[in-house]
Amino acid sequence: MQQTTVCYACSRQYDATEQRCSCGEPLWFESLARTATWPTTTDTSMWRYETFLPVDNPGSLVASVGGTPLVRTVSLDTYAGCSLSVKIEGANPTGSFKDRGSAVAVAAALERDIEWIGTVSHGNMAISMASLAAASELKCLALVPDDISSARLRAIGQFDPTLLRVDGDYGRLYHDTMALGDLIDIEFTNSDSPRRVAGQKTVAFEICESFAPDVPDAIALPVSSGGNASAIWKGLRELRAAGLLDTLPRLYWVQAAACDPIARAYRDSSQEVTRVEPAETVAYSIGNHDPPSGTRALRAARETGGAVVSVSENEILDATAAFATEAGLCVEPASAVALAGVRTLADVGEISDDEEVVCVATGTGFKELDHLDAGSDVRTIEREHLEETLASLT
Ligand SMILES: *Cc1c(COP(=O)(O)O)cnc(C)c1O
Ligand SMILES: [Zn+2]
């Protein structure tokens, strides 16, 4: 088992309990796996890459995480401006990629006899942690903002975690919980914790194994904290170190223009991501205005020859609808951001139409339907007019 964390920026090493480097940047686990072949196990879940993970498979619902479909969506090629495949992360047990990171958090707690896991989230991460904790008979503490919607509260609450609405600066909670976790025996796994990054890197493994021996030209992803972006970069680096990948796909991160600190830093040619003013976006799950792994994500895009772009609210809703009507996929607006970004990048010639691009659809849309109109244009007809109406259709 790998028990050291390391800083991507300055290479300092720490023991597994540290989450951030003294230079200020986030840490990740150094995988010791050195294998020159893809796994031969018949397990199609994320645990087929167990040798790359800092924990063992604990069983229960946790064992079913990952192994999500990668669909070649020819019907979206024209819209996207390239040869598009979609990785459907909504197929995870609680409907988002967060399950991959939560799975490692749960496994680590069980391995170390820690009774409580915790997280700071108002959405998919809290749902995921609460669900997988319940499946593994762990206690879960979810800290949510005071203004959370009742629908979200119910979605998290059904798994019976200890739910606390916290009044005050919600942004600071992320940092506060790192110290709190030491004080009380609760292991917090937030958006870019080393264990979360370790679990979430398996999506990069799955994508690359599906394409092997080829490599996709690019991967596009909606980015908020930068935790998942870091995870994909980490996964690709590990595959390269293991001799399973020669060239890395270009990594494109996409943000909502209303809240785009990483895209701004990219445009300004800054080396560091700094906070922006909080703002609302329909892409609710990616509204982090002070991303803790922003600078790391920025580095990933630059080093792989990718970019960071932002898209408007209209472009996000348009891409959400394109997913549904062109490909039959229900994704949340935050996920559609990636497709809107690919379309923008193809428009400006950054992605060409013969390139293979994987768009990661990070979460199912079935949890969040408020942005859709309520079918107000659906007409009602009398039963006696059904035959003639149908006849006029065909
Ligand atoms: C959490 C989340 C994101 C953003 O991931 P980060 O790791 O915070 O960058 C994107 N899409 C969905 C659906 C999410 O739940
Ligand atoms: Zn460092």
Which residues have CB less than 5 Å away from ligand 2 (the ion)?
Answer: 7, 9-10, 12, 21, 23, 25
Quote the tokens at residue 370: 């408020």
Whether pLDDT at 365 is above 60: yes
Residue with tokens 């559609």: 336
Q: What's the confidence (pLDDT) of residue 93?
A: 98
Gap between the Cα atoms of 25 and 301, Å rounded: 16
Q: Are 327 and 72 in contact (CB under 8 A)?
A: no
> Which residue out of 94, 119, 124 has the highest number of ligand 1 atoms within 8 Å of its CB and is therefore the one to mutate?
124
DSSP assignment string, 6-40: EETTT--EEETT--B-TTSPBEEE------SS---
pTM for this structure? 0.96
Specify the 3-state DSSP secondary structure of 145.
strand
Instruction: Examine the pLDDT at 157 and tell me if it is beyond 70.
Output: yes
Query: What single string gives the DSSP state of each residue in 290-343?
Result: S-TTHHHHHHHHHHTT-EEEEE-HHHHHHHHHHHHHHH---B-HHHHHHHHHHH
Q: Which atom of ligand 1 is nearest to 228's Cα?
A: 7
Q: What is the pLDDT of residues 288-345, one digit of tens each?
A: 999 999 999 999 999 999 999 999 999 999 999 999 999 999 999 999 999 999 999 9
Q: Looking at ligand 1, which residue's alpha carbon is closest to its atom 4?
A: 224
Q: What is the mean pLDDT of residues 263-275?
A: 97
Average pLDDT for 191-198: 96
Q: Is residue 249 a contact partner of residue 219, using CB atoms and an 8 Å limit?
A: yes
Q: Determine the pLDDT at residue 28.
A: 97
Q: Can you state the percent helix, strand and coil of the chain, rounding each to 5?
A: 40, 15, 40
